[in-house]
């Protein structure tokens, strides 16, 4: 049985956007087929409970994930002069937003799946930016092929890149391959990487281990994506607030991330943040 939050809690009341808030103003109409209350609560109650519990104890993590999403919008590029990678980054933005939303509501595996999609999009977009006339890339882009994904692009880039372009990062067993392999494990719900393992329950619940996994994975994919963008756009400058991704020495693979950043951006990131 659920209980209402006190009205002094800003999360207690649901809201709707005003029509003028949309880019294309929708026509307001009276509800024509309102959902049954029991159905509504059956769908909403568990993830809503998780969202309250997660936001009770992970405000700084949510703030960072939200800020990274805002910065990504800046990184996408100029919509009036889109380059080859523009649409890939635009779609990845929705993946990152989906990650944060599903993380907040306890759907950790979907959140990790969105991260996998984002990383694959940026990888393919990077390849396309470097080799826009490649036959296999063009066939994939036009929907004529399904066999041109993350791993194929990574292996080709490893074969084609120069040492100064952080070629090592694309090798089997290195940063990109390992990150994608881990995310694939959750995407395919392999044993030990399914909802049963992430929830330790039969529905979305607060689980500290899954929260930490999703949060750190989100930061890692953002960092790897910014390395790939720099390869696709040699003059690209990261949004200022996202520099933190390479300043956190508690990040997984921090040393390797710093090395790749230094190789691609021509200078080391700022020193690790101090308490």
One-character DSSP codes across 119-140: HHHHHHHHHHHH-TT-HHHHHH
DSSP three-state, residue 113 = helix
pLDDT for the residue 205: 96
* Residue (of 274, 223, 215) closest to 71 by Cα position: 223
DSSP of 212-256: HHHHHHHHHHHHHHHHHHHHHSTT----GGGGGGGT-TTSTTHHH
Residue by residue, pLDDT tens for the chain (275 residues) are 688 888 888 888 888 777 777 767 777 778 899 999 999 999 999 999 999 999 999 999 999 999 999 999 999 999 999 999 999 999 999 999 999 999 999 999 999 999 999 999 999 999 999 999 999 999 999 998 888 999 999 999 999 999 999 999 999 999 999 999 999 999 999 999 999 999 999 899 999 999 999 999 999 999 999 999 999 999 999 999 999 999 999 988 999 999 999 999 999 998 886 65
Answer yes or no: are the C-beta atoms of 137 and 127 closer than 8 Å: yes
The distance from CA 242 to its chain's CA centroid, rounded to whole angstroms, is 14
Q: Which two tokens stand for residue 44?
A: 């909403």
Tell which residue, 209, 212, 208, has the closest CA to residue 220: 212
Is 129 within 8 Å of 85 (Cβ atoms)?
yes
| Interior angle at CA 37, CA 31 and CA 43, nearest 5 | 105
What does the pLDDT read at residue 27?
Answer: 73
Full-model pTM? 0.94
**Element of type H or E holding 210:** helix 208-232
- Cα 163 from Cα 184, distance rounded (Å): 28
In terms of Cβ atoms closer than 10 Å to its own Cβ (0-12, 13-18, 19+), residue 273 is exposed
Range list of H helices, 20-58: 37-57
Residue 31 in tokens: 């509800």
Rg (CA), the chain: 21
Q: How far is CA 166 from the centre of its chain?
A: 22
């Amino acid at each position: 049985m659920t209980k209402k939050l006190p009205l002094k809690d800003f999360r207690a009341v649901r809201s709707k956007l005003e029509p003028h808030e949309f880019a294309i103003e929708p026509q307001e109409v009276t509800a024509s087929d309102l959902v049954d209350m029991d159905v509504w609560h059956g769908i909403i109650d568990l993830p809503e409970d998780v969202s309250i519990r997660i936001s009770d104890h992970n405000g700084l993590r949510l703030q960072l994930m939200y800020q990274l999403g805002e910065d990504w919008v800046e990184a996408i590029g100029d919509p009036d002069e889109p380059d080859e990678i523009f649409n890939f980054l635009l779609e990845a933005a929705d993946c990152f937003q989906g990650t944060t939303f599903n993380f907040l509501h306890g759907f950790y595996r979907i959140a990790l799946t969105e991260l996998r999609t984002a990383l694959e999009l940026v990888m393919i977009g990077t390849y396309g930016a470097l080799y826009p006339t490649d036959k296999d890339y063009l066939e994939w882009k036009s929907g004529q092929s399904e066999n041109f994904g993350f791993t194929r692009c990574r292996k080709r880039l490893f074969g084609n890149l120069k040492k100064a372009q952080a070629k090592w990062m694309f090798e089997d067993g290195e940063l990109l391959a390992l990150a994608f392999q881990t995310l694939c494990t959750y995407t395919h719900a392999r044993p030990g990487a399914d909802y049963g393992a992430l929830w330790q329950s039969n529905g979305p619940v607060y689980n500290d281990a899954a929260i930490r996994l999703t949060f750190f994975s989100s930061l890692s994919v953002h960092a790897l994506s910014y390395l790939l963008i720099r390869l696709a756009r040699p003059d690209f400058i990261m949004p200022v607030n996202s520099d933190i991704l390479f300043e956190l020495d508690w990040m997984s693979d921090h040393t390797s991330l710093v090395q790749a950043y230094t190789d691609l951006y021509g200078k080391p990131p700022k020193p690790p943040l101090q308490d």
